[in-house]
Amino acid sequence: MSTHIQIVPDSLALAGAGADWLAHRITRKPDLTILVATGQTPMGMYGHLAARVQAGTLDCSRVTAVQLDEYMGLEPDDPRSLRGWMERAFVFPLGIRNVVPLDDPATFTARLRDLGGLDVAVLGLGPNGHLGFNEPPSSPDAPTREVTLTPESLESNRGYWDGLAVPTQAITAGMDVILAAHETLLLVSGTHKQAILGAALDGPQTPDVPASFLRRTALTVLADREARP
């Protein structure tokens, strides 16, 4: 497939360029089905999109948002719920009415099949090369499933929750779902992602770096100069 790498000066530019990329696709196909990453990296982009919706220049009312990953064992109103984060950062501010939550692998897989799969996957890059919570090693055909988080993911997720413990078990949309998206957007920011982005783009395609398999898709990488000097 094709890999297009766009380097921007900094995380602010990343947010604007990411919003342009996705808004263009929503305008072209208003009922776009989008896999939605949480994490720090896409937050600026989501903020830009919300501003466009508020200004009346973008309509997301027919978009379907698909949840990428979730911790297990939380009450629905737990502040650490990734569904809650996706709703606060993306679904509600963009006026999206259709959501496919990730609560049960079988139900999620059936609903996605009924929708005809993903148009677009918006992804961040884990410090260990994970996509969603497809932790290394994850093969390209790994299905939507329950996983145990690696120490690297527990450590990076700790930064999200202000002292609250990070659950050790999670559910992730499978590699099979992600790699079947018609297009993928990988957002990468900061020096701490430089080495793993290099491995994903320039190294072998290997289950040890799940993001390396994105090169099999129609991939756009949007990285700032700290991540891709």
Which range in 34-42, 101-109, 137-145, 173-181 contacts ligand PGA by CB under 6 A?
34-42
Q: Which residue of 39, 44, 129, 136 would you call a contact of ligand PGA, by CB under 6 A? A: 39
Among this protein's residues, is 104 annotated catalytic? no
Among this protein's residues, is 192 annotated catalytic? no
- Closer residue to ligand PGA, CB minimum distance, 55 or 165: 165
Catalytic residue among 119, 130, 134, 183: 130
Which residues in 2-156 belong to E strands, given as ranges? 3-8, 33-36, 64-67, 69-71, 98-100, 120-124, 145-148
Q: How far is CA 9 from CA 3, 41, 73, 169, in A?
A: 20, 15, 40, 36
Q: How far apart are CA 166 and CA 157, in angstroms?
A: 7
- Closer residue to ligand PGA, CB minimum distance, 26 or 122: 122
Among this protein's residues, is 135 annotated catalytic? yes
- Closer residue to ligand PGA, CB minimum distance, 110 or 138: 138
Q: Which residue of 11, 41, 64, 184 would you call a contact of ligand PGA, by CB under 6 A? A: 41
147-160 per-residue burial string, b: 16 or more CB within 10 A, e: under 16: bebbebbeebbeee
Which range in 16-24, 77-85, 121-129, 216-224 contacts ligand PGA by CB under 6 A?
121-129
- Specify whether the CB–CB gap between 165 and 197 falls below 8 A: no
- 18 counts as binding ligand PGA under rule CB under 6 A: no
Judged by CB under 6 A, the number of residues near ligand PGA is 8
- Specify whether the CB–CB gap between 180 and 118 falls below 8 A: yes
The crossing angle, in degrees rounded to 10, of helices 11-28 and 43-55 is 50
Cα Rg of the chain, angstroms: 16
Which range in 35-43, 49-57, 82-90, 92-100 contacts ligand PGA by CB under 6 A?
35-43
Q: Which residue is nearest to ligand PGA (CB)?
A: 39
Give yes or no for a cis peptide into 136 (omega within 30° of 0): no
Q: How far apart are CA 108 and CA 173, in angstroms?
A: 8
- Taking the complex as a whole, the smallest distance from the CB of residue 107 to ligand PGA amounts, in Å, to 23
Q: Which residue of 18, 124, 136, 174 would you call a contact of ligand PGA, by CB under 6 A? A: 124
- Specify whether the CB–CB gap between 91 and 152 falls below 8 A: no
Binding site for ligand PGA (CB under 6 A): 39-41, 124-126, 130, 156
**Which residues are known catalytic residues?**
69, 128, 130, 135
